[in-house]
Amino acid sequence: MKTTAPRLFGAATILYAAIGLWLAVDVQYLQGDALSRVSATRSVLFSRDPHLAAIGFVFTPLTALVQLPVVALSDWWPQITRWGLSGVLMSAPFMAGAVVQIHGIAADRGCPAWLRWTVTATFALHPMILYYGANGMSEAPFLMMLCWALRRLIRWFTTDDVHDLVFAGLALALAYLARYDALAATAAATGLVASVVWYRRRDPRAALLDGIVIALPSALAFGMWTATSWLITGEALQQFTSHYGNAAILEQSGGGSGGGAAALAFSTAEIIALAPALALLLPVVAVLALHRRDPEPLATVILLAVLGFAALAYFRGLTFPFLRFYLCAVPLLAAAVVFLAPRSGQPPARRPGTHTRPRPADPRNPAGLLQVLGAAALALGLPVALTAMFSPTLSQEQHALAAISVLGEERPAALRSERERTLATFATERALADYLDAKSLPPGSVMMDTVYGFAVFAASGNPRQFVLPSDEDFTRILNDPAAHGVRYILSVPATGRGTSDAVNRRYPTLYENGARLATLDIEVPNSGLNQPTWRVWRVVG
Question: Phi and psi for 539 in degrees, rounded to 5?
Answer: -70, 135
Stretch (H or E) spanning 502: helix 502-506
- Say if CB 91 and CB 136 are below 8 A apart: yes
What pLDDT does residue 182 have?
Answer: 97
DSSP secondary structure of 1-44: -TTHHHHHHHHHHHHHHHHHHIIIIII----HHHHHHHHHHHHH
- The CA distance from 51 to 47, in Å, is 9
SS3 letters for 118-142?
HHHHHHHCCHHHHHHHHCCCCHHHH
The helix-helix angle for 127-134 and 113-124 (nearest 10°) equals 60
Taking the alpha carbons at both ends of the chain, their separation in whole angstroms is: 68
Output Rg (C-alpha) for the chain, integer angstroms: 25
What pLDDT does residue 346 have?
Answer: 84
DSSP summary character for residue 410: T
- Say if CB 196 and CB 188 are below 8 A apart: no
Burial degree of 490 (CB within 10 A; 0-12, 13-18, 19+): buried
Q: Among residues 287, 190, 347, 293, which one has the least CA distance to residue 198?
A: 190
What pLDDT does residue 312 have?
Answer: 94
Blockwise average pLDDT, block size 10, the chain, 541 residues: 86 98 95 95 96 91 96 94 97 98 96 96 97 96 98 95 96 97 97 95 92 97 94 84 74 68 93 96 95 94 97 90 96 97 86 79 79 94 94 91 73 80 93 97 96 96 96 95 96 92 95 94 93 95 74
Question: How far lies 404's CA from each of 90, 123, 369, 417, 468, in Å?
Answer: 24, 23, 39, 12, 35
- The CA distance from 481 to 494, in Å, is 20
- Say if CB 420 and CB 405 are below 8 A apart: no
What pLDDT does residue 450 have?
Answer: 94
Q: Which amino acid is at 383?
A: P
pTM to 2 decimal places: 0.95
3 state DSSP class of 249: helix
Q: Among residues 29, 37, 79, 71, which one has the least CA distance to residue 54?
A: 37
Question: How far lies 358's CA from each of 199, 206, 237, in Å?
Answer: 18, 22, 46
Stretch (H or E) spanning 517: none
CB neighbours of residue 350 within 10 Å:
9
CB neighbours of residue 258 within 10 Å:
8
Bridge pairing between strands 488-491 and 466-467: unpaired
Burial degree of 326 (CB within 10 A; 0-12, 13-18, 19+): buried
Q: Which residues contact 129 (CB under 8 A, 6 or more apart)?
A: 95, 98, 99, 123, 143, 327, 330
Question: Phi and psi for 94 in degrees, rounded to 5?
Answer: -65, -45
DSSP summary character for residue 498: G
Question: How far lies 419's CA from each of 105, 274, 416, 461, in Å?
Answer: 38, 21, 5, 29
> What's CA 91's distance to the chain center, in Å?
9
Q: Which residues contact 255 (CB under 8 A, 6 or more apart)?
A: 249, 319, 320, 321
- The CA distance from 214 to 218, in Å, is 8
